[in-house]
Amino acid sequence: MKIKEVGKKIYKSDKFPLIVFTIILALIHVLMQKHGDDITFSSMCNNTNFLNCIILRYQEWTSRIIIEGILIIFANYLPMFIWKIASIGMCYLLVYSISELFIEKNKRNLNTILCICLLTIITLLRETGWMATINNYLWVAATGLYAIIPLKKIIKQEKISKIQNILYILAIIYACNQEQMAGILFIVYTCVLAYLIKHKNTKPITIILYGIIILSLILVITCPGNISRNIQEEQRWYPGFSNLSLLTKVENGVTSMMDYVVQSGRILFFALLILISYTIWQKNKNTFLRLIGLSPLILTIIYKEVYRILIEYEKTTFMQESTLYLIFKLGIYISILVLIGVCLYIIFKKINQNKNMLYISLITYISGIASRLVMAFSPTIYASGERTCFFWYISFCILIILILETDNKKTDKIITKIKIH
């Protein structure tokens, strides 16, 4: 009887969807085998010791010495099942951190939707090897989001224990060793610190964490390995990249990131656009605002249909070489990105009338774009694949949750439909 009562309590708890999500990820982890870069890291210390290996990587290849050091330990010295256990814990930390940061009410239903959204992007994490990709992206996302929690606690004037302070420091050290997340955390911490300073509510831990972010960015900029790698990868993947103008690099950044979500048809992106359109339509009688709400979805469908027709008639050469088509494509993509931002403003300013939610949504959206747009300055902008969109896709998950949180009835309807199907 007691076991049954405990089971019911767990089932009814807000964190039950998080537990189910973690179990699903655990089952996926059971099936994981080393491949690609996992094999490389498994043999990296065969002819040298660990310390020399890390120094050599820093000098010749990367500033990600903490991430790679931990990956080498797991891949080279420990059985894979130990890494799997640690990784499953990180999966829980990821969904827990998002829930703690962004979900205030109707937590059980919104946690369910959050978990479903995250499951749609898990396949990205096998591109160059499960261990390598997960450590560089999922673990980084989990620790990075966890490192934002103290900002929320300070704003809400909640107590932070010494153990939590230590955990936040360890989390941000790991997360900021990845350039994209270091950039995201720099944007978030700069904005929130400005708010805290204005309201005279700063704490020593926020200054320490912000200092770690700054030092991490300095490490990225000054690391000789990053410079050396860029030279080698330009020769291998994108000859002449360094000679491109800033405008061309930004153009490549925008088109490459949007190609994944529009041409390839990422369901998470379409879900966000449909939700934006539906929310503005339901909450506004103004025809102009309704058209703005529909415009990102309509433009996406128009371009996707044009792209489908051109592919069907084998016009790939025209698509690659026609200046008119490239201008059309870039114009559509930039319009979609700008209009999504405008729609978020309408939703959270005009509907919810909550300035904090407005700022959170816009910072989330801008940070997500910046995390992928930074790839415009890397010669591996195309070679690195869709995994570099992982943080951007997580921003979609967060935005979906934030929008649904403005309307509990809408969330309940979605959950009801999920249960029926």
Q: How many angstroms separate the Cα of 310 from the Cα of each of 37, 251, 314, 315, 332?
A: 36, 21, 6, 5, 16
pLDDT at residue 4 is higher than 80: no
> Taking the CA of residue 259 as centre, how many other CA atoms within 13 Å lie in the half-sphere pointing to its CB?
14
With beta carbons less than 8 A apart as the criterion, state whether 139 and 419 touch: no
Instruction: Name the DSSP letter for residue 223.
Output: -
Cα separation, 247 vs 245, in Å, equals: 5
Cα separation, 278 vs 290, in Å, equals: 9
pLDDT band per the 50, 70, 90 thresholds, residue 410 = low
Cα separation, 220 vs 235, in Å, equals: 21
| Tokens (6 digits) for 182 | 């270091």
Instruction: Give me the mean pLDDT over the 33-44 stretch.
Output: 93
From the number of C-beta atoms within 10 Å of its C-beta (0-12, 13-18, 19+), residue 348 rates as buried
Instruction: Name the DSSP letter for residue 49.
Output: -
pLDDT at residue 1 is higher than 60: no
pLDDT at residue 103 is higher than 60: yes
What is the chain's mean pLDDT, rounded?
Answer: 92
The pLDDT > 90 percentage for the chain reads 81
Instruction: Name the DSSP letter for residue 261.
Output: I
Residue labelled with tokens 């016009």:
315
pLDDT at residue 296 is higher than 60: yes
pLDDT for residue 7: 76
pLDDT at residue 180 is higher than 70: yes
Dihedral sign for Cα 307, 310, 316, 319, please.
negative
The SS3 call for residue 121 is coil
pLDDT band per the 50, 70, 90 thresholds, residue 409 = low
For 7-34, the pLDDT digits (tens) are 788 888 899 999 999 999 999 999 999 9
pLDDT at residue 114 is higher than 70: yes
| Tokens (6 digits) for 226 | 């990053």
Cα separation, 21 vs 111, in Å, equals: 10
> Got the DSSP string for 127-192?
TT-HHHHIIIIIHHHHHHHHTTHHHHHHHTT----HHHHHHHHHHHHHHTTSHHHHHHHHHHHHHH
Give the residue extent of every domain in the chain: 1-146, 147-222, 243-421
pLDDT at residue 393 is higher than 60: yes
pLDDT higher for 128 or 300? 300
Dihedral sign for Cα 232, 237, 239, 244, please.
negative
pTM: 0.93
pLDDT for residue 11: 84
Q: Which of 106, 160, 129, 98 is nearest to 32 (CA)?
A: 129
